[in-house]
Amino acid sequence: DGGITQSPKYLFRKEGQNVTLSCEQNLNHDAMYWYRQDPGQGLRLIYYSQIVNDFQKGDIAEGYSVSREKKESFPLTVTSAQKNPTAFYLCASSTGQFLNQPQHFGDGTRLSIL
């Protein structure tokens, strides 16, 4: 079945540690996105990528980094510079950046500080 797989489901970060969240899709989608969701807030865009080897900062990129070496993979690293990393992280993909192409989400990763 086609879909978006995020792992791990739960992740704990120690002080000063970098952690990487995995996102893999087998939908052959060109565009991929990372969002952060905090309780009572909407989704906020961290990074997005329209094609392989290209990505752009979203609205809250500070303290995060990404790579897009393969079409199907878009990992997110939460660095130690991100002082408030506790949130629900959602990866999404779409066929492209065009107006009417919806984004579909993976199951998410919950990140907490130890």
Partner 1 sequence: QKEVEQNSGPLSVPEGAIASLNCTYSDRGSQSFFWYRQYSGKSPELIMFIYSNGDKEDGRFTAQLNKASQYVSLLIRDSQPSDSATYLCAVKAWNGGATNKLIFGTGTLLAVQP
Helix, strand or coil for residue 95?
Answer: coil
Which of residues 18 and 86 has its CB atom nearest to partner 1 in the complex?
A: 86
List contacts with partner 1 (CB under 8 A): 40-45, 48, 50, 56, 58, 90, 97-100, 102-108
**Secondary structure (3-state) at 98:** coil
Task: Name residue 92's beta-bridge partners.
Answer: 33, 105
Q: How far is the CB of 52 from partner 1 (least distance, A)?
A: 16
CB neighbour list of residue 97: distance below 8 Å, 6 or more residues apart: 31, 50
Q: Which is nearer to partner 1, 17 or 28 (CB)?
A: 28
Q: How far is the CB of 27 from partner 1 (least distance, A)?
A: 13
Smallest distance, Å, CB 15 to partner 1?
Answer: 26
Pick 27 or 45: Cβ nearer partner 1: 45
SS3 72: coil
Does residue 75 have a cis bond before it (omega within 30 degrees)?
Answer: no
